[in-house]
């Protein structure tokens, strides 16, 4: 029986090949800590495929360090706002240019607003996905799923939307992706797909769950956000309770997970999200079957995790996080400033 391939898609930042090793180890060890999943041993049932699109930002990052004003000049003032561009210019004129801005915020802006970067990333990631899930003759190797984080949630959405909206040419084989090729699960961790929305409305695109292939490009959809993660606040992914349809919602094919426990300061980190039972239990259920981990086990694990991560340990951090003023309709100037404040607060530099 073929293994279930789990595609891991990174978020913003400067990621080297092999970036997912620790995440793979974490997912594997967490999975193995649930005795009820022993019926499907992890290494016998699953395999990982790492997706990396970092290189498409490298040249412009280097140019930012050498002449940031030229990079700023590539961004469309009418769309991003003159205030946001002024903020970037100001940073560019500082003696020590903001490394977080160059490796995180700049990635987001380049992907969202520079069409050549956007399309190059999409094409590259699409081929990486097809290489991972298809044989040379164009047949699917086996079941597969996607776990995307941060900027990667927008990349994954745009790539899947393109893949399931057009005929593909893969190594000489032309065909539309059929039912059997649909991912079992699309998991969007720290989902920012709405704020970076460009190709299609994320609520209306084909990247939605459904039992029938005609109703969605995946079988199950999970979206997770941390209450104190500022990156997920502007244009929060928050569909209606009957999204994408009453039937699909009633089948519980949509998992919208909201958490607030804090174990480490960087609440945006993928590993932080995956530590929380509210996230990883639902993830494992989607990858196996809904009853594989009972509600009582989830409740016990969550209670144990909450006890080990009392918010009182992070009162100072919470006060500072609440001072980052971001909302549903924050401007790009406010978003850039809020992201920088978060990075300084939690010590994210690259």
Where exactly are the structural domains of the chain?
Answer: 4-346
Q: How confident is the model at residue 174 (pLDDT cuts 50, 70, 90)?
A: low
For 268-287, give the DSSP string: TSHHHHHHSHHHHHHHHHHH
DSSP 227: T
State what percent of residues in the chain have pLDDT above 70.
Answer: 96
Give the Cα separation of 339 and 229 in Å (integer): 10
Q: Read off the pLDDT of residues 215-228 as tens digits, 9 standing for 90 and up.
A: 889 999 999 999 99
Q: Do residues 4 and 46 make contact, with C-beta atoms less than 8 angstroms apart?
A: yes
Confidence of residue 152 (pLDDT cuts 50, 70, 90): very high
User: With 0-12 CB in 10 A as exposed, 13-18 as middle and 19+ as buried, what is 28?
Assistant: middle
Class for the domain spanning 4-346:
alpha beta
Q: Decide: 15 and 54 in contact? Cβ < 8 Å.
A: yes
Token digits of residue 16: 């080297």
Peptide bond connecting 233 to the previous residue in cis, omega within 30 degrees of 0: no
Cβ contact 79:331 at 8 Å? no
The C-alpha atoms of residue 281 and residue 275 are separated, in whole angstroms, by 10
Asked whether the beta carbons of 196 and 108 are under 8 A apart, the reply is yes
- Return the higher-pLDDT residue of 70 and 284: 284
User: Is 236's pLDDT higher than 80?
Assistant: yes
Nearest to 239 by CA among 230, 228, 249: 249
The confidence score (pLDDT) of residue 232 equals 96
Q: Taking residues 285-299, what's their average pLDDT?
A: 97
Which pLDDT band, with edges at 50, 70 and 90, does 175 fall under?
Answer: low
Q: What share of the chain is helix, strand, coil (3-state, %, to 5)?
A: 50, 15, 35
The structure tokens 């530099």 sit at 349
50-79 pLDDT per residue, tens? 999 999 999 898 888 888 888 888 999 989
- Can you tell me the mean pLDDT for 283-303? 97
CA 177 to chain centre: 22
Report the alpha-carbon distance of residue 280 to residue 302 in Å, rounded. 11
């Amino acid at each position: 029986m073929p293994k279930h391939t789990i595609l891991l898609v990174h978020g913003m930042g400067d990621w080297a090949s092999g970036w997912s090793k620790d995440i793979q180890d974490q997912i594997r060890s967490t999975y193995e800590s649930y005795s009820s999943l022993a019926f499907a041993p992890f290494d016998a049932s699953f395999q990982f495929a790492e997706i990396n699109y970092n290189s498409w930002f490298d040249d412009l990052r280097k140019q930012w360090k050498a002449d940031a004003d030229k990079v700023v000049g590539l961004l469309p003032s009418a769309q991003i706002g003159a205030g946001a561009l002024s903020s970037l210019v100001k940073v560019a004129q500082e003696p020590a240019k903001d490394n977080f801005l160059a490796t995180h915020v700049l990635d987001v802006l380049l992907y969202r607003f520079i069409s050549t970067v956007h399309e190059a990333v999409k094409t590259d990631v699409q081929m990486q996905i097809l290489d991972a899930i298809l044989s040379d003759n164009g047949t699917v190797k086996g079941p597969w799923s996607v776990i995307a984080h941060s900027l990667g949630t927008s990349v994954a959405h745009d790539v899947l939307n393109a893949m399931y909206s057009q005929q593909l040419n893969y190594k000489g084989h032309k065909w539309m992706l059929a039912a059997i090729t649909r991912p079992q699960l699309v998991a969007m961790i720290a989902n920012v797909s709405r704020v970076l929305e460009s190709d299609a409305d994320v609520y209306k695109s084909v990247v939605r769950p459904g039992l029938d292939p005609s109703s969605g490009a995946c079988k199950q959809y999970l979206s997770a956000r941390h209450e104190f993660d500022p990156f997920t606040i502007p244009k929060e992914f928050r569909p209606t309770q009957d999204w994408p349809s009453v039937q699909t919602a009633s089948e519980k094919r949509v998992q919208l997970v909201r958490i607030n426990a804090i174990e480490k300061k960087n609440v945006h980190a993928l590993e932080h999200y995956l530590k929380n039972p509210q996230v990883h239990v639902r993830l494992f259920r989607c990858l196996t079957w809904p009853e594989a981990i009972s509600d009582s086990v989830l409740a016990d694990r969550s209670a144990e995790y909450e006890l080990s991560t009392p918010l009182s340990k992070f009162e100072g951090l919470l006060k500072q996080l609440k001072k980052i003023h971001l909302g549903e309709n924050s401007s790009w100037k406010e978003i850039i400033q809020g992201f920088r404040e978060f990075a300084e607060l939690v010590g994210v530099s690259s």
